[in-house]
Structure formats: C-alpha cells, structure tokens
Chain A
Amino acid sequence: MKKIFLIGFKDLKIMFRDRAALILMLLAPFVLTIGLGLATGQMSSGTDSGISDIPVIIVNQDGGQLGDALVATFQSNDLANLVNPTISSDFEAAKKEVDNDHAAAAILVPAGFTNSIIPQDIETISSDTIQIVLYTNPSRPTSAGVIRSILESFLNQVETGKVSGTIVIGQMVTSGLISIDQAQAAGEAYGQSLADSGMATGSIKITSVDGEETSSTNVNTLALLAPGMALMFLMYTVSNGGRSLLVERNQGTLARLAVTPSRVGEVLAGKMFGIFLTGVAQMIILIGATSLLYHLQWGDPLGLAVLILAAVFGATGWGLLLCAIAKTPGQVSTIGSAVMLIFGILGGSFFSLSALPDWVQWISHVSPNAWGMDGFTTLALGGHLSNLAGPILGLLVMGALLFVISSVVINRRGIIRA
C-alpha cells in the first residue's frame, strides 16, 4: 500500500511541476467558464454572480383558480429573488419581448385550463387537458431551464392533486359520505383547497432529480457552468495521467519500477492513484477558486466531496484505458483530446442535455461528465448526498470496470513487465 501512495504522490508532484499541464488543467477551465458565462449573458454584475431576477412574462387567460395559483406562485416571496414576473394579456407581445431578449421566457395559461382539470359541471368534463405554453429564450438556456423547472413542479403538483382528488371524491361517493350530486361541489372545494393551500402560500418547490423537494433559491448559473468545464478538463488531466504511464515506459523508469521489490499490481495501482490524486487536486482547486472569486454556491459540502471523489474515480478509469489501448504517449494525447471534447459535448459541459433526444441522453452516461453533471446540478439545485446515489454509483462502477479492463490489457501487452 505504501508503494501505491509513493508512486501516486510522486506523479502528483511531477504533474504540478509541468507548467503546460497546469495551464490546461487549471487556467483553461477558468477562462472557458468565464467566457461562456459572458457569452450567454448569465453572469450578473455585483457580488452575487448567480441567477436572480429572471424576467418572465405570464399571460393568464384562464381566470380560474389554477391560473391564479400559477401567477401567485411566481409572485410568491420564496421566488422573489429568483424570478421577476410581469403580467401581460397579450401572449404575442410577450413572445416578442422574449425574442428581443427582454425576458427569459413567456408563459401562457390558456382559457379553460382550470376547467380542464377541475370541471365546473358534468357537461364540461373532458379527457383533454389544456396545455400551458412555455416560450423560452434560447440565448438564456439556464434561466429558461429554471422557469421550466418551476412550471413543471407546479404542473406535477396539479397533476398529483387531480389524481388524488379524483380518488378521494370517488371513495367518498363509494363509501356513501357524499352523494353523486354533491361530488361536483366537493371536487370544486378540493380544487380550491389545493390552489389555496398548496400554491398560493408560495410553497412551490423545484423538484430534484430523484423527486425530493428542495428550495429553489440557491440556483446559480456558474454553479451549473463551472462543473461542466471542470469535468471536461478533468478528462484532460486523466488522459495526461494515463499518458504518463507510457512516458515512463519510454524513459525507462517503468522498467526500473518493475525491478524494485514491487508487484505489477502495485505499480499500476500507484499510477492510477497518481491520476486520481491529480484529478482531485484539480477539482478542489477549481471549486475552491470559483467559490472564493465568484462566491459560487456548489451545494452540500459532504455531497460535493463525495461527488468529486466519485467523478475523478470514474474519469481515472478512462485515463487508464486510454493508456492501455494507445501505443505511444502522442496517441494518448490525440485520443485524449478527442475524448475530452466528445465527453464534454455528450456530458452537457456546453449545453443542457435536456435539449437532446432521450437516446443521446442515455448514451451520454458512458461519460463521467454526464454522471458528474447530474450530480453537480442536483447539488446546485439544493440536493444533498442522499440525492446523489445514482451519479455516485454510476461513476464508481464506471471507474472499477475500466480499471479491471485496463489492467487486463496492460498486462497482456506487457507494458510494465514482459
């Protein structure tokens, strides 16, 4: 075990003495994060660089309880810092405001929305629910995403209320507590109660990925953008680490390691530990620096720490695999750069994966970036360690699997000892 640590810390020291590598590991993610932040216009001035006062225009043509409840939700105190809603009666005018980049999104609550969910009389019952229309600004993907998230939470709650209301009223009729004639009035009362107690009090929450409700007020643009860049350049770091194994083979130090009283497994594990350590150091520096410089809120510290370790572990597996399949250090660099970009795109470092088809989102999870982004987004939206089971498990399985495959290939090729 001691030798694994020795090799790992030696590699960490060497990596941090390589100026070119440091620039790509640490400076490049910073520059790109800031650049993308400026390009998408999502970095506000002042001390709080996070999302706030997202301009949204609501056109409420419904006139029912649910339409009013939606407006009340956006005007609630809980969302006061996050969104800046404007009420309008003309949806076309609202869309123009969005097109002119004066608003991140426009919401249309069509007439009859409430009635499509809570019918006012038997005759108006319809199996079709009138859809709320969300018109978003493509140049503000994150802000639009936040509005969409609030809206989806509202609709989820309405849907839940609709189903539970149907069941409750049905059971009341079946058990004889109310008559069929009274069912309509009871349903309306239930709907009103839902609108009053559930939404008008401002308790709407943004639902996190695994369904737990969390506060919506900690969302921060850079907290979504910075992890993407950090994860993408983590792939550079791990491929550079994997490359170091072949560099050591060429410079003879690997053979020298192999004739010390050490096992091949120790040498390989030491190299992997070195890649892992370097990746962790890079992530800690990036996260620490963005926290200090831009006051980023990365979320639950414990969840963050575990997620970093898991993300680096998963990425390290890829670094080792690159080394196992490449013949020269140059090949690792070339393939590594390509993988870094592909994983960056697939993993959502440049844009939200939600815009992509489901099958692409599924495939994207071959990259540690996608799992990592899932985790960082969860944390940025207020999630905790308990919400990160999926990403962490995915990353750990990925890292372990790739380590085993790489070890077999490296041994078969006789890279360390022939």
Chain B
Amino acid sequence: MPPILQASHLVKRYGDFTAVDDISFEIQEGEIFSLLGPNGAGKTTTISMLSTLYTPTGGDAEIGGFSVTRSPMAVRCLIGVVPQELALYDDLSARENLNFWGNMYGLSGKTLQTRVDEVLEQIGMTDRANQRVKTYSGGMKRRVNIGVGLLHKPRLLFMDEPTVGIDPQSRRAILDSVKDLNKGGMTVLYTTHYMEEAQELSDRVGIIDHGKLIAIGTQSELTRQVGEMDTLRLHVGENDPVEALVQALQGMPGIQKADQSDHTIDVITPSSEEVLAPVITKANEIGVKIRSVDIQEPDLESVFLHLTGRALRD
C-alpha cells in the first residue's frame, strides 16, 4: 500500500537561513507520526509546506498521490490542519466558526449541520456552542481549534503543537482525542516538543533539529539506533552486603554494568525485563534485602540528547 504522505528532499530557505534542510520521510495510512524537536527546529515550516501554505524552495511531497506543489487544491481536499496558534474568529460562536469553516471546505446544507453537531459533540462543546469564542477558556478554544480541522473528515490530519500553553486536564483530553481519531482510521502527523506526547501517541517518530531530520523510526528502533540501555535501580538495606551483590551482578549474563551509590545499585542492561528475576534471586542468595526497584527505559529525551548533545528543552 503506498504511503499517504511521501516527502522528498523538502527544503525551505529564507535568504541565507535554511529553515528546513533536505527532509524526506513517509507516513503510512492509519499511522500517528510525530515530528519531535525543540522550538525553531523546523516543525511548523515542514507542516506549512506539506499543507500547501508555503511553497518549498526545493523538493516536493505527495499526499494521497497528489503533489503539494503541482496539485495543491487536490491536496487541500485531503488534509485537515490544526495550527499551533488558535485560528478562530473570537467574535463568532463555536457553531458559527464551524459553520464557516465547514462551508469553506465545501460542506453545505444538512451535511454541514450534521457534521457541525457531531464535531461539537466530539470536542465536548455542545452546551456552549452558541457562545462567542472569546468567552471560552484556553482549553475550550483549543478544542474548537481542533474541531475545525476535523469537520470535513480529512484523510490526513496535521496537528501542529496542539497542546502548547494549556492546562494538564485539557492536554489529557486532546491527547485522548488524537488517539480516538486514529482509532477511527484517521492518519495524523503530530508535531511537538514534548517528548512524553510523542512517546505516548506515536507509531513512529521523526526527530528534527536545525531543520534536519536526524532520526526516524519507532521508539524502540530509535533507542536501539543510539545503543541506549535500560537502567535497573535497586534500593537496598543499609547494612546489607551490597558490595558482594555488585560483584556478583557484574559477572551475570545480560548485565553490562553494575554500580553502587549509597543505598542503591544501578544495573545497566539491554533488557531490564530479562534480568530482573535473576537479579532478585541473586540478591536473596547473598542476603541483600531489596526494598524497591525502579526501571528506567531509555526515552526519546535521551535519544535526542545522544544525537545532539542538548536536551529537548534547551
């Protein structure tokens, strides 16, 4: 099955500054693909080119078989866009906004009214549908902002940092709604600089920095690419023979390294699941009482740190 989106060597330059530098990737139908990167990495510019708002300086992309540069109108019919900034008319109500944007996407009459009602229900705004947007909280505005992108049931939905600047409750609701949309068959291209969101939502992740796509794959593929290990942190008793346990662990198969620090032992291993049981068994044999265990799997933050030498939020 051909990918719904195929970006090939996309470039966007503003004078001497290159905002997006030769980016290529694919998104399969039904996938949630995240572009993860810090602010200013080129995520929004990439989405702007893919959604036909900006003309690429170089390269091209196909969405549903249509080129974003040669057939932009066909592309626009297939995509929905949820921009980073709230793009709503404050002096219109949620219903009026949805009606207007639905019309702009070619919906009309009963179809439009049905879709507006469905979307209002979906974003939980039915009760306040007729109040002006400017009276809503930030989270409610975000929900309406997303609703506009869903009206015409796009095959591919671009969501550009939809959770920026909102409260945790609204953020949770938005993440859940993205999952629900995906379960309903919608393909989603999601950009974020929150590692946790990319980890929670994505089938695959592209890590972008300084306009370049520096890594792409599933989360486990990415962590394996950079050779990251799990860390098993054992909290032990004060007078237990900790040094003996550390020595014993260092010789066990599947364990890369074991370090002691105060009343904890850090065990570095490619797979914490495989060594957890043998480690506990060995501790019991030696007489070390394990009070608790923390398992720290490598995350995208550590991948980004490994690839760029910087934290995501630097």
Contact = CB atoms under 8 A, between A and B. Distances in A.
Does A associate with B in a complex? yes
Interface of A: 2-3, 6, 10, 13-14, 17-18, 251-253, 255-263, 417-418
Given A258-B53, A261-B77, A418-B48, 4 more contacts: A10-B92, A258-B52, A261-B104, A418-B53
B10 to A, nearest CB: 15
B92 A253 contact: no
A6 B100 contact: yes
B303 interface: no
Given A252-B83, A255-B83, A418 B77 contact: no
B86 interface: yes
A263 B52 CA distance: 11
Of B48, B89, B104, most buried by chain A (CB within 10 Å of CB) is: B104
Contacts of A10: 89, 92, 100
Interface residues of B, number: 28
A143 to B, nearest CB: 45
A259 B89 contact: no
7 contacts: A6-B100, A10-B92, A251-B86, A252-B86, A255-B48, A261-B106, A417-B54
Ranked nearest first, the 6 interchain pairs of A and B with the lowest CB-CB distance are: A252-B87, A256-B87, A260-B104, A252-B85, A261-B76, A17-B91
Given A6-B100, A261-B106, A18 B91 contact: yes
A260 B76 CA distance: 6
A257 B104 contact: yes
B103 interface: yes
Contacts of B194: none
Interface of A is mostly: helix
B101 A251 contact: no
B286 interface: no
Contacts of B181: none
A6 B86 CA distance: 21
A263 B72 CA distance: 10
A13 B77 CA distance: 27
Interface string B230-258: 00000000000000000000000000000
Contacts of B24: none
Contacts of A258: 52-53
Interface of B: 48, 51-55, 73, 76-77, 79, 81, 83, 85-92, 96, 100-101, 103-106, 148
Given A252-B83, A256-B81, A418-B53, A262 B88 contact: no
B91 to A, nearest CB: 5
Contacts of B103: 2-3, 6
A10 B87 CA distance: 15
B89 A14 contact: yes
Contact of B85 (A6, A14, A251, A261): A251
Contact of A261 (B54, B90, B91, B105): B105
Contacts of B100: 6, 10
Contacts of B85: 251-252
A256 B83 contact: yes
Contacts of B77: 261
B87 A260 contact: no
Contacts of B52: 258-259, 417
Contacts of B89: 10, 14, 253
A252 B149 CA distance: 13
Contacts of A252: 83, 85-87
A18 B105 CA distance: 27
A18 B76 CA distance: 32
A418 B55 contact: yes
Given A3-B104, A10-B100, A261 B88 contact: no
Contacts of A256: 81, 83, 87, 101, 148
A262 B103 CA distance: 11
